[in-house]
């Protein structure tokens, strides 16, 4: 059940001033209201070549980067719970264990962070939701983002959990209208996990359409069942939910500050 926060005291911000000669209480502007972003519609990336990758994958000629860690998680395979074997499957899961992270994951060729303490200079300009979260320097706003993907006349939903294929700086494609700049693997522009592959019932190097989607618009399905990084399972993994918590905390602080100033003025 989704937690809905109701703040009945918001009307308290509208109260009369204390006369012409009395003190005036000023409330600092509130942060952007996170509720206004709930129905954002993002454009489609059409006819994009998708390649299959998996957690724990060893480097090959077509995929030179090992996948026991991701761009944002140095213990990705450990945190997942093991090797996401693309051949030994139990439905949409790896055989032998229930993953601790969402098995429906993808990689896109952009990383918003230079390191743990610094974003890329263009990140705040090119990422549509960056300012909504106002992240601390080096905190990614891309990890965990939901995608809607169409292939083989089916619609799947998955979370962005790694960077690639081949490059991590292609913001013109990921957030703009450009085609993927890599020419390798038929110009691949997205990596999909074995679970996504199996949901579509396809092999490697297939054409897909994809776009970003708000979590509030994602329906329940096999992608909603597993993972501490999955907002269906762990509400605190939803950045919009956490943004609303911070928004309400801000309003509470401002309310308490207004009461404090009012009490001081009345005691004088």
- Supply the pLDDT for residue 128: 94
pLDDT of residue 87: 97
The span from the CA of 209 to the CA of 219, in Å, is 18
Nearest to 189 by CA among 58, 44, 75: 44
Distance between CA 249 and CA 138 in Å, rounded? 23
Q: pTM above 0.85?
A: no
Question: Tokens standing for 200?
Answer: 């579509």
Determine the pLDDT at residue 132.
87
For residue 13, what pLDDT is reported? Answer: 41
Q: DSSP code of 11?
A: G
Cross-strand bridge partners of residue 93: 90
Angle at alpha carbon of residue 25, lines to 22 and 30, rounded to 5°: 170
Per-residue pLDDT at 268:
66
* Strand pairing class (118-119; 113-115): antiparallel
Q: State how far the Cα of 93 lies from the Cα of 189, in Å rounded to an integer.
A: 24
Ranges under pLDDT 50 in the chain: 1-19, 27
């Amino acid at each position: 059940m989704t937690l809905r926060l109701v703040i009945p005291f918001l009307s308290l911000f509208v109260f009369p001033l204390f006369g012409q000669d009395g003190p005036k209480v000023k409330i600092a502007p509130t942060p952007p209201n996170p509720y206004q972003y709930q129905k954002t519609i993002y454009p489609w990336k059409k006819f994009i070549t998708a390649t299959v990758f998996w957690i724990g994958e060893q480097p090959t000629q077509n995929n030179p980067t090992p996948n026991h860690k991701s761009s944002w998680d140095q213990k990705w395979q450990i945190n997942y719970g093991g090797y996401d074997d693309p051949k030994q499957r139990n439905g949409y899961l790896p055989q032998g264990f229930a993953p601790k992270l969402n098995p429906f994951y993808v990689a896109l060729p952009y990383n918003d962070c230079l390191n743990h303490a610094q974003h890329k200079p263009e990140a705040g300009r090119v990422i549509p939701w960056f300012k909504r979260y106002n992240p601390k320097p080096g905190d990614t706003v891309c990890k965990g983002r939901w995608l809607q993907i169409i292939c083989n006349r089916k619609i799947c939903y998955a979370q962005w959990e790694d960077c690639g294929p081949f490059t991590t700086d292609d913001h013109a494609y990921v957030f703009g209208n450009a085609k993927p700049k890599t020419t390798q693997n038929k110009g691949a522009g997205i990596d999909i996990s074995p679970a996504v592959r199996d949901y579509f019932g396809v092999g490697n190097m297939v054409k897909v359409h994809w776009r970003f989607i708000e979590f509030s618009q994602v329906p329940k399905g096999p992608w909603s069942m597993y993972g501490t990084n999955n907002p269906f399972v762990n509400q605190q993994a939803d950045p919009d939910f956490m943004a609303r918590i911070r928004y309400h905390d801000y309003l509470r602080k401002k309310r308490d500050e207004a009461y404090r100033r009012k009490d001081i003025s009345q005691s004088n």
